[in-house]
Amino acid sequence: MARKPIEMRKIREVLRMRLDRKASVREIARACNIGRTTAQEYVHRAAAAGLSWPLPQELTDSALTHLLFPPRPTKEEPARPMPDWQEVQRRLTKKGMTLLLMWQRYREDHPDGYGYSRYAGLYREWLGTTDVRMLQHHKAGQKVFVDWAGLKIGITDPRTGAMAQASLFVAAMGASHYIFTRAYENEQLPNWLEGHVEAFEFFGAVPELAVPDNPKTGVEKACRYEPTLNPSYADLAQHYGIAVVPARVRKPRDKPKVENAVLQVERWVIAPLSDQKFFSVAEVNEAIAVKLAELNDKLMKGPGLSRKQFFELEDLPAMRPLPASRYRFAEWKRAKVAPDYHLEVDGHLYSVPFTLVGKHVDVRMASTTVEVFLAGKRVAAHLRAFGRRRNTTEPTHMPERHRRMAEWSPERFTEWASRTGPQTAAFIEALLVGKVHPENAFRMCFGVLGFEKQVGKARLEAACARALATGALSYQSIKSILDKGLESLVPTQELARLPEHENVRGGDYYAQEAPCAN
């Protein structure tokens, strides 16, 4: 142990005071301004080294240090069985497995083997000699990493010869490196979600977590602590019972599996197909399937297994089965319920309970259904309709008054009027027939029939009879007759026709069209 020059001077002073002056440890500590424990140690070491005062002149500081602080004797580590670290690494991918459990198994097989501290140290040393990416341990069946590949595959339009670029969705399992890839026309949200669905079906099972690279189609707001997922992406996650944990922005080590998978896809799938000419996405995917099978069947240097073998051995048994139904893409939007308790989706109106007027709700729009949610609870569901300027209304969503009005028909008004009397029934029928659309007369019918509660059946019957006789077919006519008490009067007979006379022009004359003035 090397000592600084000032420390060696203090040590020599300690030795002089002890060996020459026979001073006590307390006195030495006070004089040399050191702790009593330190002074006591120097005194003991001097006695153990057999030193006396004065010290030999040829005794240098280095030699004195060696005498007082001799190096500890080294012990050769006994030969002990070395664990198979590759097998340890493979087993650590299993759910619930830890390094401590692996060490306990090791000691059961080798009671004279390494202690846990040395075992863990040797494991870390072994990791340091391997690919640094292995420092991330992924439990079997736990994570799938997803991303779009950087390179694309060209597709030629057979009619125009125009060239388009197909994007490749890539998914890789964390433990086994098992890869899925498929081409899509673009990188928009429906294809991003369809890529997940087809990846799960390719695996034949569902992992616990999906780790995307913060694409704008899937992650609306990237945040290290609380990222905001696109509602449709969250919908897919809920359908399959997975959690979506986006990688941190500009942190490639959060997603090394998919980074490597994308590299492998670009190297072993896209590059070999780059010289081929394709005329549809379907043709591309047929060729991709062949190259992907070759890639997953290649032996990996580390475990000595192919990706497919490793997946079937480790990942697949730890994954959950696919749900009974396949996820169907649905869009979401935020909307405010209008005063008429309807929401608009692509120009069509859908009803919600009238008590939600003015509230903000979430609308899920699938290909066949429209669902409305308030605070995560579904409050309305309709079959999707695509007729613009039309509405789909559920009667139970309407206020009681509106519901009664919506249930009326010409037949119901006629039946109601007949209970008052034949004149009333005839008057109501005349109102309904007089309109191109009978619904336009419903309000007048309500008003006329409502007079029964005010004046009774007899007066209403008489008022309708007078109105029919005079041709006054309106609500206001009935109201005026009843207000003035005219229902009891007999209608005035038609005036007698005047006798024809040469001095009387008569109605025929005035019926003629008047000549135009010059």
Residue 196 has pLDDT above 90, yes or no: yes
Q: Give the span between the Cα atoms of 453 and 355, in whole angstroms.
A: 31
Whether the CB-CB separation of 29 and 38 falls below 8 Å is answered with yes
Q: Give the span between the Cα atoms of 204 and 320, in whole angstroms.
A: 9
More confident residue, 381 or 6: 381
Whether the CB-CB separation of 391 and 349 falls below 8 Å is answered with yes
- List the chain domain ranges: 5-68, 85-135, 143-318, 330-399, 408-488
Confidence of residue 12 (pLDDT cuts 50, 70, 90): confident
Looking at 71-85, 95-109, 250-264, 287-301, which range is the least confident one?
250-264
Residue 226 per-residue DSSP state = S
Region class of 45: left (phi > 0), else alpha (psi between -120 and 50), else beta:
alpha
* Model pLDDT, residue 360: 92
Other C-beta atoms within 10 Å of 71: how many? 7
Residue 508 has pLDDT above 80, yes or no: no
* Model pLDDT, residue 4: 45
Q: Across residues 308-329, what is the average pLDDT?
A: 90
* Model pLDDT, residue 308: 92
* Per-residue pLDDT tens digits for 403-440: 666 667 788 888 888 998 999 999 989 888 877 667 67
Whether the CB-CB separation of 392 and 385 falls below 8 Å is answered with yes
Q: Which structure tokens are listed for 461? A: 């019957």
Q: Which structure tokens are listed for 319? A: 């994954």
* Model pLDDT, residue 73: 62
At 346 the three-state DSSP class reads coil
Looking at 85-94, 145-154, 184-193, which range is the least confident one?
85-94
Q: Across residues 145-153, what is the average pLDDT?
A: 89
Residue 456 has pLDDT above 70, yes or no: yes
* Model pLDDT, residue 37: 85
Residues in the chain: 518
Q: Which helix (H) or strand (E) holds 90?
A: helix 85-91
Q: Which residue, among 357, 362, 353, has the nearest Cα to 397 in the 3D structure?
A: 353
* Model pLDDT, residue 136: 47
* Model pLDDT, residue 174: 85
* Model pLDDT, residue 439: 67
Q: Going by DSSP bridges, is the β-strand pair 360-366/219-221 parallel, antiparallel, or unpaired?
A: unpaired
* Per-residue pLDDT tens digits for 23-66: 888 888 877 778 888 888 888 888 888 888 888 877 787 888 88
Q: Give the span between the Cα atoms of 92 and 99, in whole angstroms.
A: 7
Looking at 142-146, 447-451, 504-508, which range is the least confident one?
504-508
Residue 137 has pLDDT above 80, yes or no: no
The CATH architecture annotation of domain 143-318 reads 2-Layer Sandwich (3.30)
Looking at 8-17, 91-100, 508-517, which range is the least confident one?
508-517
Q: Give the span between the Cα atoms of 226 and 382, in whole angstroms.
A: 33
**DSSP H stretches of helix in 129-214:** 189-203
Residue 17 has pLDDT above 60, yes or no: yes
Residues 6+ apart with CB under 8 A from 46: 14, 15, 18, 19, 68
Looking at 4-8, 123-127, 482-486, which range is the least confident one?
4-8
User: pLDDT averaged over the chain?
Assistant: 80
Q: Give the span between the Cα atoms of 156 and 59, in whole angstroms.
A: 90
Residue 199 has pLDDT above 90, yes or no: yes
Confidence of residue 246 (pLDDT cuts 50, 70, 90): confident
Residue 197 has pLDDT above 90, yes or no: yes
* Model pLDDT, residue 292: 93
Residue 496 has pLDDT above 50, yes or no: no
Confidence of residue 279 (pLDDT cuts 50, 70, 90): very high
* Model pLDDT, residue 1: 43
Q: Across residues 87-98, what is the average pLDDT?
A: 72
